[in-house]
Structure 1
Amino acid sequence: MDRRDFIKTSAAAAAVTGLTLHGEILRSDEILRSAQNDKNSVPQHFPGVGVLGYGCMRWPMTKDADGGEVIDQEKVNALVDEALAHGVNYFDTSPVYLRGESERATAEALCRHPRESWLLATKLSNFANATYENSVMMYRRSLEIFKTDHIDYYLLHAIGSAEDFKRRFGDTGIMDFLLKEREKGRIRHLGFSIHSHKEGFDSMMELHPKYHWDFVQIQMNYIDWTHAGGRNTNADHMYNELTARGIPVVIMEPLRGGALASLTKSQTARLKAVEPDMSVASWAFRFVGSFPNVLTALSGMTYKEHLDDNLKTFCDFKPLSEEEFAMLEEIADEQAKFPLVGCTGCQYCMPCPYGIDIPGVFRFYDRSVVDGTYIKGPGQERYARARKRFLAEYDKAVESVRQADHCISCGKCMSSCPQHIRIPRELQRIDKYIEEIKQEKFNP
């Protein structure tokens, strides 16, 4: 898609309200509605739902008495308190997040507040065991953990294809159960999240007349808008199809796993020239927040600094102009040319049976490509210094016993990656690249 088409489709999509298309981007007084109508709370595109939502897959961690990693409940409580105080009331979790502990930690923080002050979004994450009995048990367990008689937003988790939906939901009888739960009010809104090729997404749209999806969660950011890559569907197609059907959109990965919080020096300089006091990450949130059919945009705000920065962006929100859309499109085109793995750090592939820090390896590699520390070969400027620093930073980022050279291609991680990354192949590629640098046999 060329720049003109990008601006045209972005502007058109950002101007959708209900089923009507308008020709220009809506201004802030049209697009943003806040219950409190002040700059201390995030706005609302849909009544009662803050447009900034809390993704509960990346809660802060600490060490227990035995040195193991556990969720830092005290910090979680403080983050939830601050979020609620500023109108962030949509909390997205899953029975499988943080190795099964996210729901518990999220519930402990939220249940200290009145039930009507927060919206619960959790999932039927029946990947390992999709039987009717196990699915019902997982659903009821979520109700029990949150000490509630209803779930506000319930998702069929991570649909990968039409066949995946059929195997986990269509053929098991669980859809009839969930539809009855929605009729009884125990599920207020029923939808799904998806990581799939276009055919898989379109097949779910064909099921809308049968199931009447209340919302859908998609991966959307200014890279994935037209550069989703791999087996994933471009976000512009999904957003426009959902909007045409009047289905509200929940956004996941608006920062693409944190990748859009830190760009190249030249890209950062371009953004800072326009908004010197705003973070690089704020541009990614302004992008998704400029689309009025967005119910909420999820952010995994691990630290208070993340939450505060997002509140600064949303509490005084400025929709993107056409010129700003164009600038982000140019950055997206540049990013799409980088040899990135594209890992978002969801950790679905973890733990690796051989101890490899898969997200850590990919994060280091992708970061080195973007920030320019990627080793291109002996001919580059200050090669010896750059080589030494690169290898030292790799050892610092990923301890040696957890690096890519320990991969034996067992393939256990393959089926769990929502980005459809060929993990063993990418680990071997990175290991070969790093080994060539170590042996100084690099062939650019």
Structure 2
Amino acid sequence: MGDMSQARVVLSPVGGARRAVIAASVGTVIEGYDLLLYGYLAGVLATRFFPADDPTAALLNTFAIYAVGFAVRPIGGVVFGHVGDRVGRRPALAASMLLMAAGTLGIGLLPTYQSIGVWAPVSLLICRLVQGFAIAGEYVGANILILEHAADGRSGRAVSANQVAVYVGVAAAAATSLLLASSLTPAQLAAWGWRLPFLAAVPLALVGLYIRGSVPDSPALDAPGIVRPRFPLIVALRTVKRGIAVFAGWLVMVTLGGFLLFGYMPSYLTRVVGMDATVAFGANLAAVFALAVGAVAGGHLVDRFPPRTVAIASAVGVAVSVVPGFMLIQQGTFAAAVLGQVIWAVGIGISATVSALLSASQFPVPIRFAATGLAYNVSVTVFGGTAPYVSTWLLSRTHDPVAPAWYLAGAALLGLATAVVGWRGPSWMVTGEPCSG
């Protein structure tokens, strides 16, 4: 690897940094929209792809496919991590976007259970596997591209834009679902309306590819002294095992909280709390906005204060607020649903920005994509992708409507322990040096 450990990133001019933020974030919006449509329309998909005689079993099976679709994410993380470190950040992101569009379009074209029986859920699973493989390279690669273009002292604010982009994509999926639920009858939505947002994947992907094509690849990979290893992941597993463990441990709270909010809460509000679908989507959309506010606040905080301190504060905030939030939601009003989600969503947004910066501090440039991709996608697979299924299962076993909140509170305590015990390295900089801890 030569003198990889001593190489520093050459930061790009402000204009280049701004273009990188815009291009990376636009792609993240599109892929976030593609991925989260499934969660928001899970209630409708359950009636289209499974027998209608047991609605609870149909919803569980729909969420099971949602979770299994994440099982290939570690594989995708390895593949895209290798491409991102060996070939470049931008080619990896382009391939990810094209694959995601193919999987999303496929869902929109699938025949239903009433037409082809058991082959309908099998086909749905295949499309979800394609989506899961594709998304493994998007969020990680976009964060890294932004960080490696960022101006010194503004890394947090720059990368927070990509966290906001995630939530804008989620909000787009939520808003689309809200529009469909409010403008179509339940029969129309079930018959054909659910297909429309999935069919929009191809034109959106073409727009994203065009915008990203105007931005140069990361200046970090071509900086003096950078040597790209032949097998980045092998080098990462040999040299930054502790960093991978710390990164994955912190992400448990981030991914569980995020996917609980935008992958499960719409169904929770309608099926458990008994809210009207339109009101439930609106309340959840407000909570997603709170996630974005938290992400922006996190960017400013980590540029001003030690990120470890910000991480500890956000973990404590989530741990103490999520159970009262779920209790408040049980009142069943729009205001209670909004406030009950918002009080812990802000902490999740802050912690997401912290996690993006953690990638830069823990992993050197030549193995950054591979190491981050592995840690991130394993955590998302185990905890994020299973969040709706595990939450539904906990409710069915305990009959306690607050059970999902206790699950997230436990994850927040794990995040707190990771920040307190695991984060010993001080090098919160976009550099080519590995974390000194």
In which range does the TM-score fall when normalised by the shorter chain?
Answer: under 0.3
The TM-score, its normalising length taken from structure 2, stands at 0.25
Q: Considering fraction of residues, name the structure with more strand.
A: 1
Rg comparison, structure with higher value: 1
- Structure with more helix by fraction: 2
Higher RCO by CA contacts (8 Å cutoff, separation 6 or greater)? 2
Q: What is the TM-score normalised by the length of structure 1?
A: 0.25
